[in-house]
């Protein structure tokens, strides 16, 4: 699919349990936050060798491997770090402190504790179900 429909994926993000933090409260239309989140899902999948397709696409639905999910978790952590750094956060050991914008997890994924990595894994393991909720499927480019 050369240009996946952003709106169905963004709508699924908005309606997903816990997705309320991804959109501006009080708005029923799709905001840039959900559309941006949809773009992020598409970009992450592309980086591990997948794309989205309509259900009518003849390619078989692909199952993400554990290796794919771990790479997606790493990409999610990179996205989170970029977001925090753009907000002015900096690395500081100890407790996270939003008041002074410091966080101990602003390190490469491989340096995180297993508990911290699990936070990213929990987010990305939802991607296949989210994509299906949007009425789409994950496929390998060129698969037939």
Instruction: Report pLDDT digits (tens) over 86-139.
Output: 999 999 988 999 999 999 999 999 999 999 999 999 989 999 999 999 999 999
Distances (CA, A) of 132 to 36, 109, 113, 126, 136: 18, 28, 31, 10, 5
Q: Of the candidates 55, 92, 50, which has an alpha carbon nearest to the alpha carbon of residue 67? A: 50
Domains of the chain and CATH, by start: 6-139 (1.10.490)
pTM across the whole model: 0.84
Q: Pairing state of beta strands 137-139 and 51-53?
A: antiparallel
pLDDT digits (tens, 9 = 90+) for 43-81: 999 999 999 999 999 999 999 999 999 999 999 999 899
Rounded to 5 degrees, what angle do the CA atoms 57, 58, 61 make?
80
């Amino acid at each position: 699919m050369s240009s996946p429909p952003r709106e169905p994926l963004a709508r699924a993000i908005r309606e997903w349990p816990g997705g309320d933090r991804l959109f501006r409260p009080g708005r029923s239309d799709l905001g840039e936050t959900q559309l941006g989140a949809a773009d992020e899902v598409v970009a992450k999948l592309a980086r591990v060798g997948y794309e989205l397709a309509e259900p009518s696409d003849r390619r078989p639905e692909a199952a993400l491997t554990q290796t794919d999910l771990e790479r997606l978790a790493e990409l999610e952590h990179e996205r989170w770090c970029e977001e925090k750094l753009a907000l002015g956060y900096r690395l500081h050991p100890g407790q996270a402190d939003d008041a002074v914008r410091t966080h101990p997890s602003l390190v490469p994924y491989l340096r995180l504790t297993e508990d911290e990595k699990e936070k990213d894994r929990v987010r990305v393991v939802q991607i296949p179900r989210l994509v299906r909720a949007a009425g789409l499927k994950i496929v390998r480019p060129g698969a037939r």
